[in-house]
Amino acid sequence: MNTQLNTLPGNQQQTVAEQIHLQGRGLHTGRHATLRILPAEVNTGIRFRRIDAKGDGTEIPAHWSRTKELPLCTCIVSDSGVQVRTIEHLMAALYACQIDNALIEIRGEELPIFDGSSRAFVAALDAAGSVPQEATKKVIRILKPIEIREDGRWIKIKPADSFSIDLTISLAKFGPFNWSGPVDPVTFKQEITCARTFGRLHNGIIAKIATRFWRDPVCLGANRQSALVLVGSKVLNKGGLRMPDEFIRHRVLDTVADMTLAGAHIKGKITGYSTAHRLNHKLLRTLFSDESAWCFDLNIS
């Protein structure tokens, strides 16, 4: 049952209409990177290829089976150990712009962070446009609940007729936040993609000092231009928050981005508390290890 692919007409796959060129600094490495987003053939999905000196030209699928657990980001790795990190904001933008197939060439290890949201990626994808392809979108239906719990955090996916999310976080000195609703691409683009990543100033300073000489450093490129910076109950960024619940909206952004690593659109409802990339990846691994928990959906309406 799980190997039967969606073949109904309509709801066509899409790729970018033209090449997209972007550049900027990474949130964690602090290093400059350039990338090109290229059109790709049907059913090839989203793939990354390192073209810098440390890359070997291998294409790395944006897929749950390729994830490598690093702090505060989503990282994928090739069989030879070549990695691309902090892909989540681009993956969210590709979902919002309904791009199913693309090849991303990157000169560097980490994607640019820009303002800490997906807004710059969405703007570039919208400017380039998209073209329909002669294949229908892949959709999977959740057949039974799967839940992951870890250190007080949890995430659950259960059967539903559409993709929706209900997430809660509790942020000290700011309060609890909840966001619940459908996450179809149009709603997601309008309500979620401009929400920025965030962090405490003292945590960022400690991370910069502690990890500067690690193989996989953390937060070396973090500042008020690339993230929401919090001190006590204050937001240090000029202009403050873009919306009162920007924190939880960014957590929704990250969760949807990680769910795209399923390699297909999802029909199911996700609920969670204090979710993180690690839990999202573990949820996907657990889901796809159980063939009775999901199937490809032929009814894509």
Active-site residue numbers? 277
Phi, psi dihedral angles at 17 (to 5 degrees): -80, -25
Residue type, 92: A
How is residue 235 written in tokens? Answer: 């937001």
- DSSP conformation letters of 2-59: TT-----SSSEEEEESS-EEEEEE-TTT--EEEEEEEE--TT--EEEEE-STT--S-E
- DSSP conformation letters of 219-254: STT-STTTSEEEETTEE-STT--SSTTHHHHHHHHH
- Within 116-177, residue ranges assigned H as helices are 119-128
CA distance 189 to 268: 19
Collapsing DSSP to helix, strand or coil, 23 comes out as strand
Instruction: Please count the helices (runs of H) and the strands (runs of E) in the chain.
Output: 6, 20
How is residue 183 written in tokens? Answer: 């996450």
